């Protein structure tokens, strides 16, 4: 019972001149996502307006913009979590590895197995640390205890939290600190071996030290994963991403190399936002 | 290294999604089960009632001849019962709630009374019947009168009123109290003039729900020894009485002997359900009308 | 001459009545306390009544006869026998049937309402459950006796006119709304971010429900089952009408069985004169019933408090 209505939009993708130029600059890399003429409404509220955006493989793409600009909505459209909101309508296409994920025949469960997500507030399950990480592999049919153990250890190592929790794997995850919980959630996400990791302001609920650890982790993960991170924190975007998209009022204002966006943005509004003149 | 094999995952995926779909309908079926039972039950009652529920049935006295039998006595008895239970539970319930919410210090006494009320709510109704039998029927000598039945029922439904009144009082916003205190009003003046009027809809809703529980309860009346035989129609609180559920009880049991008694029982059930429906409608209207005023 | 009306003057004048007000302020809390104390007196009344008559009963009948033998013949003129075991098995068997209906259906209903149903569907279905919960038990008794039993007798040849199966099923139906609404409350209190976390890993709704929501809400769910059992044990009218008054110790659901509550009804409305052993026996049974339900209720509260999950 998908709340999303998909209209097959065969319009040619129209990029603005600046956008096209920037895209050409980073055209060399492979794209994991290709968004074409995406529109999204919450009831009557037109939340995303004609979005055209590529996501590069094995890179960190940052999405920035003021609150309510649609950046989280866009992120949640990439794994169709946005459908959980009732009254959502979508048109346009999002190609994930060439297939339109907005097609109603595309199984969300399959998509979400390939695309992991880390949330704003850490949301471990009220289970042990081990069970949290083993959750994904278990629903995908892995029962072998030894195998599960290996997956859990690798995932926790991958999320740079193994050393902190290896002696307390069977304790409740809620005994961990906020920063540890968030890295546990990243480990939980790694355990299903996704291609893409979507991060929705993953450090907004964390203290500076934990934030730094998560940022380091993101740097290390990008060689194996394509990462899309929504952030309020512009320094963070500048530090960890290679491409950046600036959203405003549901539109992509500018997209390009992070260096370019943060040093010589083409659009006045991007410049205003980055320099803190609004938002 | 890859642990998760995409092909296996995708193969399992189809099954998992299919199972999810099937189980969803199973859950839906379970939910509809209650609806279906309700429909069958009501149909059953209606079908048995047809031809039996008329003005004569409502205004005739009891008779062993099914065609002549009426429930005037039972209706009157149930109304008398409500006349006792309503005011008694309201006074006891609201008094208890005001004491617990406004006066009692949060301490041992408070939690003792609160726990006690919670536990009373879980005591089987038949046990209340035995309490009534000993205290009201025997020791106080009320016999099987309206007052004995009414007081027993009042104690039984008291927790419902207390809890409803407590919630109603708690939901009165603090600024109203502060405004009253700020003008120099005493505590009791504040409660009487501000808190209780504001909490009244919630209290009334609770009282109506308690009353509707009381008029449907049978077990305590059976334990008290309330008869369902040919007794004079009550005209005071010390008169003997019978009530609608007692009538249903005896007619149901005796339907083995006289088939038509099942129809009489069904007709009485319909009357009882209509009364309950009307009372609950009033409660719902009250609740909706006064909800979220602050 | 008329005095000028001044609020201040009126307040001053009222102050002369302050004495009365002071007394009111002192007396009211005391009156309210007395009203609140009625509930304590009720409990005290229940316990003392039950204990007093139960003690009288155990003067005549030994503890071992009551709990250790299997025959119950309270009104036998030759040799009355007083064992509670037939009543206990009757109560337990019928409660088991009731829970076999109420637990799966109630839990499935709760899952559907909390996890699958849209807001509008939920708003439509919940009132139906409330209606089901508001129907007096005597009506369920009528339903069991005049409808469910005849239907079951068509299906099961050996079924007696009064039996344990029919009231058990109907009692289960009566308990469904309670289990469903308490379990749904428990599941609703599981934060949505947890469901999102599981869905984002590619879980189906069923997997989210079974592996995340239900484990997180398990204490509330179990508590709802325990309260359901307590309700089943204390239920009177359905069993009085539909399960008969056979006092044989049996586990056969097609047979008539008597529960503790039905026994109390039989003795109070029957011929046992006040002061006879048969009469006192009803209090011993009622005391046992009281203890059972009290323990169940305390257990339910303990479970939901002790194992409340920290999210």
Give the CATH number, domain containing residue B76.
1.10.3720.10
List, in order, residues 6 or more apart from C256 with CB less than 8 Å away: C160, C162, C163, C164, C243, C244, C245, C246
pLDDT band at B61 (very low <50, low <70, confident <90, very high): confident
- The answer to whether the Cβ–Cβ distance between B3 and A140 falls below 8 Å is no
Interface of B with A in 11-70 (CB under 8 A): 12-13, 16-17
Looking at residue B206, its pLDDT comes to 92
* Token duo for residue A69: 């600009």
Pair (B28, B131) in one structural domain = no
On the question of pLDDT at A202 being above 70, the answer is: yes
Interface of B with C in 133-192 (CB under 8 A): 133-135, 155, 158-159, 162, 186-188
Strands (E), A57-159: 60-64, 88-96, 99-100, 115-118
Which residues in chain B are contacts of A193 at CB distance < 8 A? Answer: 2-4
**Chain B: residue nearest A146 by CA?**
B3
What distance in Å separates the CA atoms of residue B260 and residue A127, rounded to the nearest whole number?
60
The average pLDDT across C142-170 equals: 94
CA distances from A133 to A82, A136, A149, C310 (A): 24, 7, 10, 19
Query: Does any domain span residue C247?
Result: yes
Counting as contact any 3 or more CB pairs under 8 A, the partners of B are A, C
Nearest CA to A196 out of A173, A232, A224 is that of A224
- pLDDT digit string, tens, across residues A68-97: 899 999 999 999 999 888 889 999 999 998
What domains appear along chain A, each with residue ranges and CATH number?
Answer: 56-79+114-274 (3.40.50.300)
Pair (B27, B157) in one structural domain = no
Query: Does any domain span residue B83?
Result: yes
On the question of pLDDT at A21 being above 90, the answer is: no
Looking at residue B259, its pLDDT comes to 87
Looking at residue C131, its pLDDT comes to 87
CB C173 within 8 Å of CB C109: no
pLDDT band at C56 (very low <50, low <70, confident <90, very high): very high
Looking at residue A17, its pLDDT comes to 59
Nearest CA to C224 out of C114, C93, C85 is that of C114
pLDDT band at C89 (very low <50, low <70, confident <90, very high): very high
Q: Give the containing element (helix H, strand E) for A54.
A: strand A45-56
CA distances from A214 to A178, A187, C84, C289 (A): 11, 11, 66, 59
Could you tell me the maximum CA-CA distance found in chain C, to the nearest angstrom? 99
Pair (B85, B205) in one structural domain = yes
Pair (B22, B148) in one structural domain = no
Using CA atoms of A120, A123, A129, A131 in order, give the dihedral in degrees to the nearest 10: -130
- Residue range of the domain that includes B16: 6-49
Across the strands, what pairs with A35?
A: A53, A94
Tracing tokens 């009306």 back to the chain, one arrives at C5
CB C144 within 8 Å of CB C96: no
- pLDDT digit string, tens, across residues C157-205: 889 989 999 999 999 999 999 999 999 999 999 999 999 999 999 999 9
**Higher confidence at residue B150 or residue A12?**
B150
CB A258 within 8 Å of CB A241: yes
On the question of pLDDT at A11 being above 60, the answer is: no
Query: Does any domain span residue C188?
Result: yes
On the question of pLDDT at C1 being above 70, the answer is: no
On the question of pLDDT at B227 being above 80, the answer is: yes
Reduced to 3 states (helix: H, G, I; strand: E, B; else coil), residue C272 is coil
CA distances from A95 to A58, B153, B265, C39 (A): 17, 68, 67, 68
**Chain C: residue nearest A113 by CA?**
C202
What distance in Å separates the CA atoms of residue C257 and residue A76, rounded to the nearest whole number?
59
Pair (B39, B87) in one structural domain = no
How many other C-beta atoms lie within 10 A of the C-beta of residue A209? 9
CA distances from B70 to B44, B77, B225, B267 (A): 20, 13, 21, 10
pLDDT band at C237 (very low <50, low <70, confident <90, very high): very high
Looking at residue A141, its pLDDT comes to 87
Which residues in chain C are contacts of B268 at CB distance < 8 A? Answer: none
Q: Within chain B, how many helices (H) and strands (E) appear?
A: 12, 0
Nearest CA to A21 out of A250, A251, A238, A267 is that of A267
CA distances from B174 to B102, B162, C143 (A): 12, 20, 48
Pair (B21, B76) in one structural domain = no
Nearest CA to A40 out of A111, A89, A92, A101 is that of A89
* Token duo for residue B219: 């077990």
Please report, rounded to a whole number, the percentage of residues in chain A having pLDDT higher than 70.
89
Query: Does any domain span residue C122?
Result: yes
Interface predicted TM-score (ipTM) of this complex, two decimals: 0.91
B14 in contact with C, Cβ within 8 Å: no
Query: Does any domain span residue B231?
Result: yes
What distance in Å separates the CA atoms of residue C76 and residue C79, rounded to the nearest whole number?
6
Query: Does any domain span residue B108?
Result: yes
Query: Does any domain span residue B57?
Result: no
On the question of pLDDT at C152 being above 70, the answer is: yes
What distance in Å separates the CA atoms of residue A273 and residue A262, rounded to the nearest whole number?
10
pLDDT band at C85 (very low <50, low <70, confident <90, very high): very high
* Token duo for residue B282: 């009033």
CB B84 within 8 Å of CB B154: yes
CB B241 within 8 Å of CB B84: no
- The answer to whether the Cβ–Cβ distance between A107 and B12 falls below 8 Å is no
Interface of B with C in 96-125 (CB under 8 A): 96, 98-100, 103-104, 112-113, 116-120, 122-125
What distance in Å separates the CA atoms of residue C98 and residue C94, rounded to the nearest whole number?
6
Sheet of A31-42, strand order: A45-56, A31-42, A88-96, A99-100
- The answer to whether the Cβ–Cβ distance between B13 and A113 falls below 8 Å is yes
- Tell me the torsion sign for CA atoms C101, C102, C106, C107: negative
Which residues in chain A are contacts of B17 at CB distance < 8 A? Answer: 107, 109
Query: Does any domain span residue C100?
Result: yes
Which residues in chain C are contacts of B217 at CB distance < 8 A? Answer: 136-137
How many other C-beta atoms lie within 10 A of the C-beta of residue C307? 12
- Mean of pLDDT over chain B: 90
What distance in Å separates the CA atoms of residue A90 and residue A77, rounded to the nearest whole number?
9
CB C264 within 8 Å of CB B223: yes
A151 in contact with B, Cβ within 8 Å: yes
Pair (B154, B17) in one structural domain = no
Which residues in chain C are contacts of B44 at CB distance < 8 A? Answer: 143, 146-147
Looking at residue A5, its pLDDT comes to 37
Query: Does any domain span residue C3?
Result: no
Q: Which of A204-213, B196-205, C9-18, C104-113 has the largest mean confidence?
A: C104-113
What distance in Å separates the CA atoms of residue B52 and residue C286, rounded to the nearest whole number?
38
Specify the range with the lowest mean pLDDT, choosing from A42-51, A127-136, B178-187: B178-187
What distance in Å separates the CA atoms of residue C160 and residue C162, rounded to the nearest whole number?
5
Residues in chain C: 311
Specify the range with the lowest mean pLDDT, choosing from A233-242, B39-48, B52-61: B52-61
What distance in Å separates the CA atoms of residue B275 and residue B205, rounded to the nearest whole number?
15
- The answer to whether the Cβ–Cβ distance between C264 and B223 falls below 8 Å is yes
The CATH number assigned to the domain holding C171 equals: 1.10.3720.10
The average pLDDT across C261-275 equals: 83
Number of domains in chain C: 1
DSSP state of C81: B
What distance in Å separates the CA atoms of residue C100 and residue A253, rounded to the nearest whole number?
61
Pair (B192, B260) in one structural domain = yes
- pLDDT digit string, tens, across residues A214-243: 999 999 898 889 999 999 888 899 999 999
* Token duo for residue A203: 């450090």
What distance in Å separates the CA atoms of residue C274 and residue B222, rounded to the nearest whole number?
16
Please report, rounded to a whole number, the percentage of residues in chain A having pLDDT higher than 90.
66
Pairing type for strands A251-257 and A196-200 reads: unpaired
DSSP state of A128: B
- The answer to whether the Cβ–Cβ distance between A109 and B8 falls below 8 Å is no
The average pLDDT across C104-110 equals: 97
Looking at residue A29, its pLDDT comes to 61
Counting as contact any 3 or more CB pairs under 8 A, the partners of C are A, B
B10 in contact with A, Cβ within 8 Å: yes
Looking at residue B66, its pLDDT comes to 79
Reduced to 3 states (helix: H, G, I; strand: E, B; else coil), residue B186 is coil
On the question of pLDDT at B244 being above 60, the answer is: yes
* Token duo for residue A4: 């999303």
Query: Does any domain span residue C50?
Result: no
CB B241 within 8 Å of CB B146: yes
Question: Buried (b) or exposed (e) across C255-288, using 16+ Cβ within 10 A?
Answer: bbbbbbbbbbbbbbbeebeeeebbbbbbbbbbbb
Across the strands, what pairs with A128?
A: A172
C23 in contact with B, Cβ within 8 Å: no
- Mean of pLDDT over chain C: 90
CB C262 within 8 Å of CB C167: no
Question: Buried (b) or exposed (e) across C98-107, using 16+ Cβ within 10 A?
Answer: bbebbbbbbb
List, in order, residues 6 or more apart from C191 with CB less than 8 Å away: A123, C311
Query: Does any domain span residue C36?
Result: no
B4 in contact with A, Cβ within 8 Å: yes
- The answer to whether the Cβ–Cβ distance between A137 and B3 falls below 8 Å is yes
* Token duo for residue B39: 């429909």
- The answer to whether the Cβ–Cβ distance between B16 and A147 falls below 8 Å is no
The average pLDDT across C245-264 equals: 91
Residues in chain A: 279
Pair (B286, B169) in one structural domain = yes
- pLDDT digit string, tens, across residues B95-122: 999 999 999 888 899 999 999 999 999 9
- Residue range of the domain that includes C200: 85-306
DSSP state of B243: -
Nearest CA to B271 out of B44, B54, B47, B43 is that of B54
Nearest CA to C124 out of C136, C112, C135 is that of C112
Across the strands, what pairs with A118?
A: A199
- pLDDT digit string, tens, across residues B250-285: 999 988 888 889 999 999 999 999 999 999 888 888
Looking at residue A2, its pLDDT comes to 38
- The answer to whether the Cβ–Cβ distance between C138 and B249 falls below 8 Å is yes
Looking at residue B63, its pLDDT comes to 78
pLDDT band at A9 (very low <50, low <70, confident <90, very high): very low
Interface of C with B in 68-87 (CB under 8 A): none
Pair (B174, B29) in one structural domain = no
- The answer to whether the Cβ–Cβ distance between C282 and B117 falls below 8 Å is no
What distance in Å separates the CA atoms of residue B265 and residue C139, rounded to the nearest whole number?
9
SS3 content of chain B, % helix, strand, coil (to 5): 75, 0, 25
B285 in contact with C, Cβ within 8 Å: no
DSSP state of C145: I
Pair (B117, B225) in one structural domain = yes
Number of domains in chain B: 2
Task: List the end-to-end C-alpha distance of chain A, in Å, as a whole number.
Answer: 37
The alpha-carbon gap from A270 to the nearest alpha carbon of chain C, in Å, equals 31
């Amino acid at each position: 019972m998908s709340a999303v209505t998909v209209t097959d939009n065969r319009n040619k993708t129209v990029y603005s001149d600046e956008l096209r130029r920037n895209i050409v600059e980073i055209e060399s890399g492979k794209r994991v996502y290709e968004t074409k003429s995406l529109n999204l409404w919450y009831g009557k509220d037109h939340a995303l307006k004609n979005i055209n955006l590529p996501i590069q493989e094995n890179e960190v793409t940052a999405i920035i913009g003021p609150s309510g600009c649609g950046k989280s909505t866009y992120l949640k459209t990439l794994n169709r979590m946005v459908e959980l909101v009732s009254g959502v309508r979508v048109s346009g296409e999002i190609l994930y590895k060439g297939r339109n994920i907005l097609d109603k025949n595309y199984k969300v469960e399959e998509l979400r197995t390939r695309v992991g997500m880390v949330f704003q507030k850490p949301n471990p399950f009220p289970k042990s640390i081990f069970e949290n990480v083993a959750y994904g592999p278990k629903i995908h049919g892995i029962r072998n205890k030894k195998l599960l153990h290996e997956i859990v250890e690798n995932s926790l190592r991958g999320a740079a939290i193994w050393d902190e929790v290896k002696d307390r794997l069977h304790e409740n995850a809620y005994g961990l600190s906020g920063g540890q919980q968030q890295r546990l959630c990243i480990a939980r996400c790694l355990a299903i071996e996704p291609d893409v990791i979507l991060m929705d302001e993953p450090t907004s609920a964390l203290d500076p030290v934990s934030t730094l650890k998560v940022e380091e982790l993101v740097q290390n993960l990008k060689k194996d994963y394509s990462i899309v991170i929504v952030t309020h924190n512009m320094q963070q975007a500048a530090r960890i991403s290679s491409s950046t998209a600036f959203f405003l009022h549901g539109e992509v204002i500018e997209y390009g190399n992070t260096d370019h966006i943060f040093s010589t943005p083409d659009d006045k509004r991007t410049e205003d936002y980055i320099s803190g003149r609004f938002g | 290294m890859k642990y998760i094999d995409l092909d296996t995952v995708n193969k399992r995926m189809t099954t998992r999604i299919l199972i999810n779909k099937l189980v969803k309908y199973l859950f839906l079926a379970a939910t509809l089960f209650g609806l279906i039972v309700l429909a069958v039950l009501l149909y059953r009652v209606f079908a048995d009632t047809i031809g039996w529920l008329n003005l004569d049935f409502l205004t005739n006295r009891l008779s062993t001849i099914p065609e002549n039998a009426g429930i005037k006595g039972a209706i009157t008895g149930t109304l008398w019962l409500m006349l006792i239970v309503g005011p008694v539970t309201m006074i006891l319930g609201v008094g208890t709630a005001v004491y617990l919410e406004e006066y009692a210090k949060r301490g041992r006494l408070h939690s003792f009374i609160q726990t006690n009320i919670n536990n009373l709510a879980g005591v089987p109704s038949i046990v209340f019947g035995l309490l009534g039998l000993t205290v009201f029927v025997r020791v106080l000598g009320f016999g099987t009168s309206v007052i004995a039945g009414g007081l027993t029922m009042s104690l039984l439904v008291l927790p419902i009123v207390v809890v409803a009144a407590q919630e109603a009082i708690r939901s009165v916003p603090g600024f109203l109290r502060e405004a009253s205190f700020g003008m120099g009003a005493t505590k009791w003046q504040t409660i009487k003039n501000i808190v209780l009027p504001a909490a009244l809809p919630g209290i009334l809703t609770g009282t109506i729900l308690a009353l509707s529980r009381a008029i449907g309860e049978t077990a305590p009346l059976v334990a008290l020894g309330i008869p369902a035989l040919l007794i004079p129609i009550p005209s005071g609180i010390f008169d003997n009485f019978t009530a609608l559920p007692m009538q249903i009880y005896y007619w149901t049991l005796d339907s083995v002997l006289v088939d038509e008694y099942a129809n009489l029982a069904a007709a009485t059930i319909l009357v009882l359900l209509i009364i309950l429906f009307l009372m609950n409608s009033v409660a719902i209207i009250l609740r909706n009308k006064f909800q979220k005023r602050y | 001459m008329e005095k000028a009306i001044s609020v201040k003057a009126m307040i001053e004048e009222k102050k002369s009545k302050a004495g009365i007000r002071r007394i009111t302020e002192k007396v009211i809390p005391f009156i309210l306390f007395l009203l609140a104390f009625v509930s304590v007196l009720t409990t005290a009344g229940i316990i003392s009544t039950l204990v007093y008559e139960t003690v009288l009963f155990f003067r005549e009948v030994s503890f071992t006869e009551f709990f250790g033998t299997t025959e119950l013949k309270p009104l036998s003129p030759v040799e009355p026998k007083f064992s509670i075991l037939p009543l206990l098995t009757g109560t337990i068997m019928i409660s088991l049937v009731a829970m076999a209906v109420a637990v799966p259906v109630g839990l499935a209903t709760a899952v559907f309402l909390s996890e699958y149903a849209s807001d509008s569907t939920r708003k439509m279905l919940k009132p139906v459950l409330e209606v089901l919960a508001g129907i007096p038990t005597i009506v369920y008794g009528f339903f069991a006796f005049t409808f469910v039993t005849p239907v079951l007798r068509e299906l099961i040849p050996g079924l007696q006119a009064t039996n344990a199966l029919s009231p058990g099923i109907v009692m289960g139906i009566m308990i469904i709304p309670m289990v469903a609404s308490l379990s749904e409350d428990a599941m609703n209190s599981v934060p949505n971010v947890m469901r999102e976390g599981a869905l984002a890993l590619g879980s189906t709704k069923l997997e989210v429900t079974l592996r995340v929501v239900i484990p997180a809400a398990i204490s509330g769910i179990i508590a709802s089952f325990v309260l359901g059992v307590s309700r089943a044990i204390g239920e009177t009218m359905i069993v009085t009408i539909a399960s008969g008054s056979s006092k044989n110790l049996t586990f056969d659901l097609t047979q008539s069985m008597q529960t503790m509550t039905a026994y109390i009804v039989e003795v109070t409305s029957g011929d046992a004169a006040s002061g006879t052993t048969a009469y006192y026996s009803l209090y011993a049974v009622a005391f046992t019933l009281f203890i059972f339900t009290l323990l169940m209720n305390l257990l339910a509260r303990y479970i939901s408090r002790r194992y409340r999950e920290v999210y």
